[in-house]
Homo-oligomer: A and B are copies of this chain.
Amino acid sequence: MSLAKWPKIDVTADRTYPVFLGSSLEELGEYLHLQFEDVEHILVISHQIVAELYSERLKKGLLNYRVNLLTVPAGETEKSLERLAQLTTAALRCDADRKTLVIALGGGVIGDLAGFFASVFMRGIRLIQVPTTLLAQVDSSIGGKTAVNHPAGKNILGTFYPPLAVWTDFSTLESLPWEEVENGLAESIKHAIIADRSLFEFFENEEKSIKLREKSIWGEMVTRSSAVKVKIVSQDEREQGVRGLLNLGHSFGHALETEMNYRGVTHGQGVSIGIIAATHLAYAKGLMTSSEIDRVKRLLDTYGLPTVIKGQDPEALLQRMQSDKKNQGGRKILILPKGIGQAIVSKECTDLEILAAWKQVIS
């Protein structure tokens, strides 16, 4: 038997690890068996709803292991130290030890929480990411960032803890509510804008198939979008440089989400509006033409992602950006697209320019 039958892209950072794209949940056990001889005990960490949908398929391949399923309620607030403590208690009750392997089965919340847990339990145990949302497949499962939140902010505590492998089964996306698909599309389109012009065109051309969730097209979409993330984190795992480009739209989006108290705007919607604000800044800096802005707007619009927001105060939004943890020495670090398919990091935007960009996305 060999590993060659599963298509993959490797992340080549501090440690090389594979991102398997299009393999099936049932086969993960076979892979583990081939690759890690001394695994006996497996902890599957998931949400109840995801476990109901997919844990049986996963467990089919895990008959040779002692498997425990730990579920946590869904929701961003579950990414907490309290939940980490509870996971720890539950894991010890199942006699988890240094040789236990964790499977994070779920979206980005599970990936971040279970990943953080695996990184600190007994100073680090083995971890496999099995992403089941579009966002997790194209973005959060790749790159090794784990985290929990703190009342004062998102992802305040965490680690860089690359998994041993990412195991992506496209079929899990069939059950994903469209709102969650949108969150993933926002990130995928962001990947296209910062690094892959032909992926942008793919999104333009495949509107219908994507909306109908056509299997082969979704496979291609996830594969190509993941490849962007793989390439970027391979160059800069610790976010000292190019990885920062992945934040396109996020400083704006995050300001909007917090200003609106995370109500009435999803993460994907925030990113979408943020991308447009960034394109306006890029235009002001001579990095983009107005027809390129229109093209980006049109694409986001095609997929139901908003490009404007009603009734917000631009000054308040600017204020929110003041406390962004990416700021350096009082300067805002912003990502600006350079045409379509490239982007740059800029510390040169004045508050006035940022304010003007906000005004462009407020209706």
Is A49 in the interface zone, CB < 8 Å from B? no
Assess whether A150 is in contact with B88, with CB atoms less than 8 Å apart: yes
Distance to closest chain B CB from A247 (angstroms): 14
For A99, give the chain B residue with the smallest CB separation: B328
Known: A92-B156, A97-B325, A156-B92. A85 touches B120 (CB 8 A): no
Could you tell me the distance between the alpha carbons of A56 and B87 in the complex, rounded to whole angstroms? 41
Stretch at the interface among A27-35, A157-165, A166-174, A264-272: A157-165
- For window 174-211 of A, CB contacts with B under 8 Å fall at none
CB pair B92 A81 closer than 8 Å:
no
Report B-chain residues with C-beta under 8 Å of the C-beta of A150. 85, 88-89, 92
Identify the closest chain B residue to A80 (Cβ): B85
Q: In the complex the two chains form, what is the Cα distance from A155 to B88 in whole Å?
A: 12
State A121–B116 Cα separation when bound (angstroms). Answer: 12
Contact with B along A84-97 (1 / 0, CB 8 A): 11001100100001
CA distance A121 to B158 in the complex (A): 7
Interface residues on A, range: 20 to 34
A316 within 8 A of B: no
Interface residues of A in 6-63 (CB under 8 A from B): none
Known pairs A92-B150, A98-B325, A325-B98; A122 contacts B85 (CB<8 A): no
Question: A212 within 8 Å of B by Cβ?
Answer: no
Tell me, rounded to whole Å, the shortest Cβ–Cβ distance linking A157 to chain B.
5
Query: Which B residues are in CB contact (< 8 Å) with A81?
Result: 81, 84-85
A121: chain B residues within 8 A (beta carbon): 156-157
Partner pick for A157 among B88, B156, B158, B325, CB 8 A cutoff: B88
Task: Say yes or no: is A119 at the interface (Cβ < 8 Å to chain B).
Answer: yes
Output the least CB separation between A350 and chain B (Å): 22
B-chain residues with CB within 8 Å of residue A120 when the two chains form the complex: 120, 157-159
Q: How far is the CA of A89 from the CA of B147 in the complex (A)?
A: 16
A208 CA to B255 CA in the complex, in Å? Answer: 66
Q: Closest residue of chain B to A119, judged by CB?
A: B159
Closest to A85 in B: B81
Residue among B123, B155, B156, B158 making CB contact with A158, cutoff 8 Å: B123
The residues of B that contact A84 with a CB separation of less than 8 Å are: 81, 157
Quick one: which of B85, B88, B92, B156 contacts A88, CB cutoff 8 A?
Answer: B156
| A352 beta carbon closer than 8 Å to chain B | no
Name the one of B98, B123, B152 contacting A92, with C-beta atoms under 8 angstroms: B152
Interface residues of A (CB under 8 A from B): 81, 84-85, 88-89, 92, 97-98, 119-124, 145, 147, 150-153, 155-160, 325
Q: A81-B85, A122-B325, A123-B145 are in contact. List 6 more A-B contacts (CB 8 A).
A: A84-B157, A89-B151, A120-B159, A122-B157, A123-B159, A123-B160
25 A-B residue pairings within 8 Å (CB atoms):
A81-B81, A81-B84, A85-B150, A88-B152, A88-B157, A89-B150, A89-B151, A92-B150, A92-B152, A92-B153, A98-B325, A120-B157, A121-B157, A122-B156, A122-B157, A122-B325, A123-B145, A123-B147, A123-B155, A123-B158, A123-B159, A123-B160, A124-B159, A124-B160, A159-B159
